[in-house]
Structure 1
């Protein structure tokens, strides 16, 4: 995996593993955290989706998220730590799912895409989430100024960045992500898919599931060798 993953902020995790036949059952209210569904894989990952590709992939995690969603911001450091812990095993795709109740959902997504157009999507992604408290309650002009300051910090071409925001160059891409999320049954954020299967449960349960699948797959590979 590229050095982009290391740019994501990590926190410590404490996890426990229980893995049964691809479906993880937890003692907490007997929660089933994987819901097998017939989901068209093309709506989960597009050719131009933002992907952190593991060299020896064991698990593919797809997230539909809204930068202004507080739950998404809480998930960000946890996903970041997973990527740092399993850089060669865990692949990650970030998709947009802007929610109508948030004022800056679309602007923040377009800012991330405008940065991505200059090769800095993941760096902007990290800044937007990490500094959510600085812009979530700001006016439109203030929020935009903050995103422009991030672009300046990342040494982007500011004229190109601002033009993309002015012209809503990447709005159609963001809306396509949202349409794909709707097609996959997403109704809120964050929404996670593990190896193409919808996950429901706590973030701790998500970590448990991913680590279980990575470790189980590694055991199978070792036995085959």
Structure 2
């Protein structure tokens, strides 16, 4: 399996289908019945655990009652497009455009050795392509699936709350000067922290460059984390949001010291840590890790490795919990299927 730097990559193919055609992840995370009812699969019949029409077979990978991946095998690009289009919820009238995108010579050449890429910059789902055989024996394999990031994609940090053994791990990339991050902290965060047996909450620094006090606040919070008091200090930062965020960056550390005292820290050690910028490199490393998992803004929340589109949507959280905690779960099913493209 390899990823390419093609001008027209699989990511562009997906964007052509999702943005130009107006469908993105329409059937991923839907039910198997919803997938089978897609117009692009009209005329397909259930056979041997899949949906078949001629030489094209479409198979759903299902975890927790939801479709987490759609695998297609065909003897033609048009058949490949039907399976991928079903996974994306592409309308019948738009299949020619998707077929044309998938027929790009550079993309087909890359698929000869196996191709896997994220479908767009949000990093929520992926596409895999592979071509085998020659002439009449040519076979086209395709797969669209949710992206489940492994634990190894996230660096270990001390800023966490909840039981280490909790079945659900929330990883939050946040900026202390971001008003939307404060909103999360004041709402959903309270609920998650109130259920430590169910949720492990892990905080990652992602200070945005246009927030002039965000970097300093991030470094200060890491100093608090080093003393095991990240959450109480973060509570102070967000509770006093309107006070310190407008300050000149040179004046903000004095406020941080007061918040550290209120949060029960050793203020002398805290001031030294902040003054020496002890955790500057750690903050930068967390930002780098965030960009590697396609964090584009704050707050960005991952639940059990899957990026949430709306952290406040109870239905979405329930679906993600269902597919990631099922046995086998989404990550296991998707990883096993991707072996075919390596």
Is TM (by shorter chain) over 0.5? yes
Deviations 1:6-29 (A, max 9, x none): xxxxxxxxxxxx9854579xxxxx
Aligned to 2:149: 39
Q: Deviation of residue 37 (structure 1)?
A: 2.1
Aligned to 1:5: none
Q: Which has the higher strand share?
A: 2
**Is 1:188 aligned to 2:297, yes or no?**
yes
**Which residue among 55, 62, 81 is the counterpart of 2:190?**
81
Aligned to 2:316: 209
Aligned to 1:52: 161
Deviations 1:118-172 (A, max 9, x none): 2211110111112111111111233211111111223422221111111110011
Alignment of structure 1 residues 1-225 onto 2, 5 Å: 21-22=65-66, 35=125, 36-37=146-147, 39-44=149-154, 46-54=155-163, 57-201=166-310, 203-205=311-313, 207-211=314-318
Q: Deviation of residue 38 (structure 1)?
A: 5.7
* The structure with more radius of gyration: 2
Which runs of no fewer than 5 residues in structure 1 stay unpaired? 1-17, 25-29, 221-225
After superposing on structure 2, the runs of 4+ consecutive aligned residues of structure 1 that deviate more than 4 Å are 211-220
Q: Distance in 1 between matches of 2:267 and 2:246?
A: 24
Q: Distance in 1 between matches of 2:165 and 2:319?
A: 16
Deviations 1:78-136 (A, max 9, x none): 23232245321111110011110000111101111111122211110111112111111
Q: What is the SS of the residue equivalent to 1:175?
A: helix
The normalised TM-score by structure 1 is 0.74
Q: Distance in 1 between matches of 2:194 and 2:265?
A: 29
Deviations 1:6-58 (A, max 9, x none): xxxxxxxxxxxx9854579xxxxx9xxx64226353232x2334222336523
The normalised TM-score by structure 2 is 0.50
By relative contact order (CA 8 Å, sep 6+), the higher-ranking structure is: 1
Q: What is the SS of the residue equivalent to 1:119?
A: coil
Q: Distance in 2 between matches of 1:167 and 1:186?
A: 28
Q: What is the SS of the residue equivalent to 1:100?
A: coil
* Higher alpha-carbon deviation: 73-82 or 207-216: 207-216
| Contact 2:172-2:300 at 8 Å conserved across structures | yes
Which runs of no fewer than 5 residues in structure 2 stay unpaired? 1-28, 32-64, 69-88, 90-123, 126-145, 328-342
Q: What is the SS of the residue equivalent to 1:140?
A: coil
Q: CA RMSD in A?
A: 2.8
